[in-house]
Each structure stands twice: as structure tokens, then as C-alpha cells.
Amino acid sequence: MLLLIGLLIGGQPASSDAQQRGSPRSSSLDKKPSQRATDRLDPLRDRTIKLGEKQWQLLDRTSERALQYLATTQGRDGSFDAPQLGQPGITSLCALAYLSRGIGTDDPNYGQRLHRGIDYVIKTQKPDGLFTLLLPGPRFQSEGPSHAALYNHAMAGYFLCEVYGMMQPDDNQRIGEAINKALSLSREYQIQHKGSQIDRGGWKYLRHSPHTSHDSDVLVTTWQLKFLASSPESVGKIRFG
């Protein structure tokens, strides 16, 4: 809900600003990180949704109260309160709510919370590039880590793509390395053998589910494509297709 409110007010998170201005999506990704960060718009000045002033004021107040509440749910480790099975995906979505409101890492009220969220997400990355807090087992487990891992992975990767370019050079390098490792893993799972033509090019769960004959899932695939589409060109060295 918080992310939806933020999107209503701000349009899209930071790296989608080129779309809001009517120029091609790729133009912002071709720029250097510092340029991408400088070009970020104040979403409250780009109100493409036709609402009255009182309606905008109500949305402003409501979203601000929601972000204030969300801040109270962040732990010392940078994570936002959620079941472990949903981490770091939920933390990434919560942080995206701030970004979609035009709040960056230099914000005096929420900037440090974003920094802590970034650190938490990166710390959950496994050596093979997978973003997940809980380590998946060798077999599929319904509503277990092997079921949720690729959701968490794509949400975390998407979040890091959106903050890439806002940080100091050393932090940008760290984020970029994490993104590239994550893209490599996503590519690895995309090209795995699929049993039918219709499933080729998609993603499903980290382990094969015996409960379905399909090897790709629309929702998992959508999140993976969202991650891929947000990848800065200067970071993503992995070819998909």
C-alpha cells in the first residue's frame, strides 16, 4: 500500500524519470551514476494525475504519515519488519516507498534509513549472487525459502538498481558489484531447461515444484524482468534473451 501511495504521488521511482519527461527509458540509464542522481525530479512537481489541490494535499499528508509509520518498523539491522521468509524483498519494497516519494539517501529525515536498508539488502546476498535471508534447501518447499527466494531476489535487485547512482563512488561500486552478481544468477535460472516451448525465457521457483507441469511463472518472471529493465547499462554486463 505504501508503495502504491508513493507511485500515485511520484509516478515512478528515481530511475524512471526519463519516462515521465516523455523521453526514451534507456536515455537515463546511458548516463553516468552522478548524472542519473542529479536528473532526479521532485515527483510532487510532476503531477500528471489530474486531482484537485485539496486531493493532492490529502495524498501528501496521508503518504507522509504512512512513511513516518513505516520508519518505526525498521530494525537496527536496517530491515523493515516482516517474516524472515519475505526478506530482503519486503525491506526493498518499503525502501522503494521512500524513493517513489522523491526521498533520496541525502534526505535529512529518512536518508539514513535508506542507507541502512541498502546495507541490509546487500548483506543478505549469498556467494552465488542470490538475495535471500533464509538459505533454500535442495528441494522445493511450498511457502519455504526455495519458493520465495527468486521473488526476494528480484525485488532486492530492483531496489538496488533504483538507488545506484545516489551514493558516494565507493558505495556505488559496492552496489554495482551486487547487482551484477544478481543478474548473473537471474540469467542462470532463465536459461535452465524448460519442458515446453511456452515456458522458455521465463523464471519460476528456485527449485522445481512437483505440484505443476509448468517451468515458468508469470509473477516470478514479471519481477525478474522488472529487475532487468531497471539495471543501469554501466552495471549490467549480462546478456538476456
Q: Per residue in 175-229, pLDDT tens?
A: 999 999 999 999 998 888 888 888 888 998 887 777 666 788 899 999 999 999 9
Residue 72, in any domain of the structure: yes
Q: How would residue 144 be classed by pLDDT, with cut points 50, 70 and 90?
A: confident
Cell numbers of 180, please?
551484477
* Cα 42 versus chain centre, distance: 20
- 18 C-beta neighbours (distance < 10 Å), count: 20
Is the per-residue pLDDT at 237 higher than 70?
no
239 within domain boundaries: no
Average pLDDT, the chain: 80
Domain count, the chain: 1
Interval 69-119: pLDDT, tens:
999 999 999 999 999 999 999 999 999 999 999 999 999 999 999 999 999
Q: Phi, psi (5° rounding) for residue 80?
A: -95, 145
Is 149 inside any structural domain? yes
Structural domain contains residue 238: no
Give Cα 114 to chain centroid, integer Å. Answer: 13
Percent of the chain residues past pLDDT 90, beyond the cut? 52
Calpha distance 56→9 (Å, rounded): 8
Task: Flag whether 218 is in a domain.
Answer: yes
Q: Could you give the 3-state DSSP secondary structure of residue 117?
A: helix
For 78-117, give one letter per residue: b (16+ CB within 10 A) or e: bbbebeebbbbbbbbbbbbbbbbbbbbbeeeebeebbbbb
The answer to whether 137 and 145 have CB atoms below 8 angstroms apart is yes
Q: Is residue 140 part of a domain?
A: yes
CA-to-CA dists, residue 11 to 69, 149, 164, 199, 238, angstroms: 22, 28, 19, 32, 28
CA 101 remoteness from chain centre: 15
Instruction: Return the closest-CA partner of residue 187 out of 117, 129, 105.
Output: 129
Can you point out the beta strands (E) in 33-164? none
240 falls within a domain:
no
DSSP 73: T
Report yes or no on 235 lying in a domain: no
Q: Which domain holds residue 129?
A: 2-230
